[in-house]
Amino acid sequence: MTETPFAILTGLFFAVGIYLMLSKHIVRIVIGVAVFGNAVNLLIFTAGRLLREAAPIIPPGLTAPDGPVANPLPQALILTAIVISFSFLAFILVLVFRAYQVMGTDDTPRMRLAEPREGGLPPLGY
């Protein structure tokens, strides 16, 4: 199987993830982060080559595999990245839910409580 369709799909995932992260709404930003994480996982998987070779098991009596084997490193990296991205996504969802409860909106320009509207701009230098 060739890597070209997976490379195109990876680029599409990156484009969709960046587009969603540039939104004003927090929920779209969180979905964009999730799509971006999946794009990175697919990039690692595609960069590790898509081979359907034998498992990397060394037969008894040899010091190296006797034929072409699949690379287990990209698979291990992706499994670790999936766990980390899932926990990060759960944490971000809790923060978004709490921010929505406190502020009553998911629109980022309206969530600027630290910058009062009547106060003017903050100082731009020292």
**Tally of residues, the chain:** 126
Which pLDDT does position 71 carry in this prediction? Answer: 75
Q: pLDDT, tens digit, for every residue of 38-75?
A: 999 999 888 877 666 666 777 888 888 777 777 778 88
Q: Which pTM value belongs to this model?
A: 0.74
What lies within 8 Å, CB to CB, of 36 at 6+ separation is 13, 14, 17, 18, 21
User: Mean pLDDT score of the chain, rounded to an integer?
Assistant: 85
Q: Which of 17, 72, 21, 70 is nearest to 40 (CA)?
A: 17
Sign of the torsion angle spanned by Cα atoms 97, 25, 12, 46: negative
Average pLDDT rounded to a whole number, residues 92-108: 89
User: What fold characterizes domain 4-52+71-110?
Assistant: Helix Hairpins (1.10.287)
Sign of the torsion angle spanned by Cα atoms 43, 44, 47, 51: negative
Number of H helices and number of E strands within the chain? Answer: 3, 0
Sign of the torsion angle spanned by Cα atoms 23, 24, 25, 27: positive
Give the whole-angstrom CA distance, residue 3 versus residue 101: 45
* Residue whose entry in the numeric block shows the structure tokens 């034929």: 67
